[in-house]
Copies of this chain bind each other. A is one copy, B any other.
Amino acid sequence: MPAWNLTYNTYKPQEEGLREALCTLGNGYFATRGASAQVSAGDIHYPGTYLAGGYNRLKTKIADRDIENEDLVNMPNWLCLKFRFTGGQWFSPENAAIRSYCRELDIQNGILTHIVVFEDEQGRRIRMEEQRIVHMGDRHTAAMQVSLTSENETGALEVESAIDGTVQNRGVKRYGELNSRHLEVLESESVQDRPLYLKVQTVQSELRVAMTARTRITRKGKALELAPKLMDDDGYVGKRYTVDIKKKETIVVEKVVLVHTSRDIAISECGLAARARIQRTPGFEPLLKTHKLAWKQLWRRSDITLTDRRKKRSDHHPEMVVRLHIFHLLQTTSKQTINLDVGVPARGWHGEAYRGHIFWDELYIYPFITLQHPEITRSLLLYRYRRLDTARAAARAAGYKGAMFPWQSGSSGREETQTVHLNPKSGRWIPDNSHFQKHVNAAIAFNIWKYFESTGDMQFMSEYGAEVLLEIARFWASISTFNKDFDRYEILKVMGPDEYHDAYPDADEPGLDNNAYTNVMATWVLTQALNVLEILPEDRIEELCETLHITESETDLWWDISRKMRIIFHDDNIISQFEHYDRLKELDWEKYREKYTNIQRMDRILEAEGDSPNNYKITKQADVLMLFYLFSAPELKTLFKQLNYPFEYETIPKNIDYYVHRTTYGSSLSWVVHSWVMARSDRKRSWKFFLKALQSDINDIQGGTTREGIHLGAMAGSVNILQEAYMGIKTRGNILWVNPELPEVLEKLEMQVRYRGSTLAFETTQEMCKITLLCSPENTFKFGFKENLYELKVGNTRKFHI
């Protein structure tokens, strides 16, 4: 029995935010949340859809105006559909009793279903069966179908269908003081024989959104001719129909919605486009058919099946959760956003947390996406290329060369990181130095390189990728300083991924020296930059060097730094997270575990106690261990050898052991990285961490943050464990390497990947790995299994004993 449906059978208002985040439907362009707890004014109020635009607590003075970028704004709510018996109350969780309740997210087909039996004060019962889709094959279209059955009453039923432009951004409580109303109404229309129409504009970014909606009510398949009451009130356009309904009778309401924005291509004006397009858009059933086909095709490429020894399957069965994660990945980094100027938001498109900003989560997200839908990664990488000029300006402004991308990036590419954040434990606003995480620049370069390695897309590398990579290399060279005492280069005053450490104990200024992760990544970037200048077509190299003024003395410097970057060790070959990490105090873990049930956010606990995590050897999330996540042992060995540092086989388990013991799992990414790095050395524990990573959203183990948006990096990371760690699929140079090793509990793991135009199917058990070449542009495909190279012909399967 395949695990495809996430089902909730009880209505629990307090859990609505979580459900909503998990049951979100969207196609990236046109995301929409599920039914929400944010009921208002007696309506079944479904908060609307989102779009990339922007707002931010930070204010910037440009030309004497205060600017708040609107990076994530709620779209007008297209889901408004309510009903009541004339004169009665609207049937909604607030006004009516819920006699039965079922919500189901059909992950396979991208359909959200609600089946609810409401009862009003007069005891009249309506059974509602609602299906919703946001079309996966057409970015502009969404639709819903609601069948309403009167269980015990004959009477006049009022059905109101509307578009609501009065929506606000209210999804994250602690942003309550920010502007929440971001839409102003430009045009609206509710007339008899035409679709509902609303055109709004975001307040700051002046993005226009036009929506049209067509409502159709049928009884026994026959469309009813009804003259609705027309509503057009300050951003809320609707039509209220009155339908006679008999006891046990069913009417079906169908609503088809079209959206266009002023950033859309191939249109003249967005209002016109939305009005013209709805005329040629079919009804719910045909839309459902093409929507399901689009999802079928996505799953044919992207499904992962895992069989474990447990027989019983529940909603929280690993396979089910993995699919939920893939579902969200395919929605957020969607084929429907290709060629739109979007990046990968940390919390998907349907959560307001971080206001839609782009961090470094792509590092976790691309490995899976690139080997399934490389054209999506290509399009998303361009998000960075387009902001290269802003990153250059940021580097110059900070006194560096090249390009310095921000820690939090929005629509304009400037640094959007907040400068203070709230500790809810202490109620205090704390300076936020997370923009010292310059390592995001290494992640961007790494992503470009990995995309190139997986696709061989020289056109992309040549026209876009190389320029970004070279400018980032230049940044790393310029932030590196030479220390004569050691004959080594250093990177001072930055932050690693571990956000618990932003300064030395009692230091006046933020920043840490020689963060190992940063220094190794900078070394890697400089090495690859020199490599890129070897492999590009010669004429393109000439152009790039001319345009960017790259001289031999500069590449000599890159070479020098990439051989002499400083890495610091302490104890017995422990890579120091940063310089003087060894001087920090050990935390009394027992004491805190006893005192607080949950010590994931030790930063808040310590700050509230007047202490600081800066004083302790504790880690919010993988920092040194990220190196083992990103690089294979041979790759790391090469890098360390290049730097003339020792690297033994034991270095890895030793460091894993050291840092795993000192991690509080304050980030959803820790479970992922720890599961990954232990996949070989401690399979049982790796599986335990993997299961924990799977829980992070479905059980909301980050303390209620799922309702503010899913944790896309952690979702992708968990999928990545299956692909890269357990199936052992890694690209390196011009070869796809496979080295599977399943946790004991896993019986079988199956998946497909696309690599440089070839499609391969993998099936691995505890004893055997079968690899099939499904199709390929060449007749044969060369790949690596463990240490050796093999060839496969199209249609053939090769089996390996493990």
Contact = CB atoms under 8 A, between A and B. Distances in A.
Contact of A537 (B280, B455, B539, B775): B775
A550 interface: no
A427 interface: no
Given A412-B266, A457-B459, A63 B275 contact: yes
Contact of A266 (B65, B396, B411): B411
17 contacts: A53-B268, A54-B268, A62-B275, A69-B268, A205-B269, A206-B208, A206-B262, A266-B390, A267-B412, A290-B547, A297-B543, A300-B539, A375-B459, A455-B459, A458-B757, A537-B759, A537-B775
A110 B780 CA distance: 49
Question: Which 10 pairs of residues, A with B, have the shortest CB-CB distance?
Answer: A265-B341, A266-B386, A538-B775, A268-B412, A268-B411, A63-B275, A69-B268, A537-B775, A205-B268, A206-B269
Interface residues of A, number: 69
Nearest to A56: B268
A519 to B, nearest CB: 30
Contacts of A459: 374-375, 378, 455, 457, 757
Contacts of A189: 63
B547 A293 contact: yes
A238 to B, nearest CB: 18
A455 B374 CA distance: 19
A194 interface: yes
Contact of A70 (B268, B296, B455): B268
Interface of A: 53-54, 62-63, 65, 67, 69-70, 137, 189, 194, 197, 204-206, 208, 262-263, 265-270, 272-273, 275-276, 280, 290, 293-294, 296-297, 300-301, 338-339, 341, 374-375, 378, 382, 386-387, 390, 393, 396, 410-413, 455, 457-459, 463, 537-539, 543, 546-547, 757, 759, 774-777
A550 to B, nearest CB: 13
Nearest to A69: B268
Contacts of A463: 338, 375
Contacts of A757: 458-459, 537
Contact of A774 (B280, B396, B539, B777): B539
A463 B301 CA distance: 15
Contacts of A267: 411-412
Nearest to A342: B265
Contact of A137 (B387, B413, B547): B547
Given A280-B393, A539-B759, A774-B539, A547 B266 contact: no
A197 B265 contact: no
Given A280-B393, A374-B459, A265 B386 contact: yes
A302 to B, nearest CB: 12
Which of A270, A341, A459 has the most CB atoms of chain B within a 10 A radius of its CB?
A459
A585 to B, nearest CB: 44
Contacts of A776: 537
Contacts of A262: 206, 262-263
Contacts of A387: 266
